[in-house]
């Protein structure tokens, strides 16, 4: 589900028509897999009807916020041209909004499931496996969807609470920690693009601090790269090499922030274009997160999805300058 939703959105964003047979088939696949049954999420959210999407094809009752917003991004143009699908879109949007935690952020699977005492259970990574707290990447990605795809902007009480949560949880160096990707680049990208999507100014202190941090870790080749050790040591650890997905994430945050392309953006774009067909260890390095020191995920499609999205966003924002 995750790959299908991301690939469909990337292709649409790059200019493929929603009437293309490929998009029709993938959209139908997603529409048929919207959850219509209650799951564990309903224990703390009983007044909302099902409407989310899950990570895998056989998952029919454990939705998550990230797969739901990814699916809704992919389906936006299909739904706009086919009113019969509008109910699916509205159910999905309502479900996402209902899953916001009381602290203002969004978690992956549950609502208000953050009993700090459970972190002391006597097994590894208890804090990542028995609770589901708000995270930067989920909160930022949700705001990006709500702003860019659902057209919700500040002032809005839920968006305001979420932006305040992001500001409270920014690291001292300006970065944000990302739970489901590696790691501080991932979280910083999600936070900045999310805050920009809902209408926050590029000169906002929090956004400027995040951008300054991204600029400070850009590699000499124009790209960005971060080690999985960041997830273990709880601090940014450079990879000393660049990866396609992490470069695309950092670039996307810069593109969302700057009205005109900068030298850093030009260098990052050049890296993506020049390394598009590389096939070395940096292409296969895992940038998806599972459990710290336990397992990480190499998504084979990431080297296509994120660079394509970033290049498309670059073209859309700056083509008027050419």
Q: The dihedral of CA 13, 8, 158, 190: what is its sign?
A: negative
For residues 267 and 300, what is the distance between their CA atoms, to the nearest angstrom?
A: 25
- The DSSP result for 218-237, as a single string, is --TTS---B-THHHHHTS--
Residue partners of 215: CB distance under 8 A and separation at least 6: 254, 264
Query: Is 259 among the residues known to form the active site?
Result: no
CA 287 distance to own-chain centroid: 13
CA 158 distance to own-chain centroid: 18
Catalytic residue among 20, 21, 66, 137: 66
Say if CB 257 and CB 251 are below 8 A apart. Answer: no
Paired strand residues for 296: 289
Rounded to whole angstroms, what are the CA distances from 54 to 6, 73, 108? 13, 14, 10
Burial class of residue 214 (count of CB atoms within 10 Å of its CB; 0-12, 13-18, 19+):
buried
Say how many residues make up the chain: 322
For residues 213 and 192, what is the distance between their CA atoms, to the nearest angstrom?
A: 12
For 47-68, letters b (16+ CB in 10 Å) and e give ebebbbbbbeeebeebbbbbbb
Catalytic residues: 66
């Amino acid at each position: 589900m995750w790959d299908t939703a991301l690939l469909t959105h990337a292709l649409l964003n790059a200019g493929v028509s929603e009437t293309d047979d490929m998009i029709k088939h993938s959209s139908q696949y997603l529409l048929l897999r919207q959850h219509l049954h209650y799951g564990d999420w309903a224990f703390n959210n009983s007044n909302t009807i099902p409407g989310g999407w899950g990570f895998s094809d056989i998952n029919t009752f454990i939705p998550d916020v990230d797969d739901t917003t990814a699916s809704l991004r992919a389906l936006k143009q299909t739904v706009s041209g086919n009113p019969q699908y509008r109910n699916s879109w509205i159910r999905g949007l309502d479900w996402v909004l209902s899953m916001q935690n009381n602290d203002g952020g969004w978690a992956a699977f549950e609502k208000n499931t953050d009993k700090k005492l459970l972190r002391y259970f006597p097994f590894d990574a208890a804090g990542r496996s028995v609770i589901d707290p708000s995270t930067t990447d989920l909160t930022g990605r949700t705001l990006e969807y709500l702003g860019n795809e659902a057209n919700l902007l500040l002032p809005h009480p839920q968006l305001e609470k979420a932006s305040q949560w992001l500001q409270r949880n920014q690291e001292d160096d300006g970065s944000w920690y990302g739970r489901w990707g590696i790691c501080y680049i991932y979280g910083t990208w999600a936070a900045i693009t999310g805050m920009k999507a809902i209408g926050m100014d590029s000169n906002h202190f929090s956004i400027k601090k995040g951008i300054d941090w991204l600029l400070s870790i850009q590699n000499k080749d124009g790209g960005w790269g971060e080690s999985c050790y960041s997830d273990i040591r709880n601090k940014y650890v450079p990879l000393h090499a660049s990866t396609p997905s992490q470069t695309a994430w950092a670039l996307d945050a810069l593109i969302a922030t700057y009205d005109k392309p900068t030298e850093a953006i030009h260098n990052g774009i050049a890296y993506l274009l020049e390394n598009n067909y590389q096939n070395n260890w940096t292409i296969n390095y895992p940038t998806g997160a599972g459990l710290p020191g336990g397992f990480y995920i190499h998504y084979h499609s990431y080297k296509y999805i994120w660079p394509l999205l970033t290049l498309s966003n670059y073209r859309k924002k700056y083509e008027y300058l050419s």
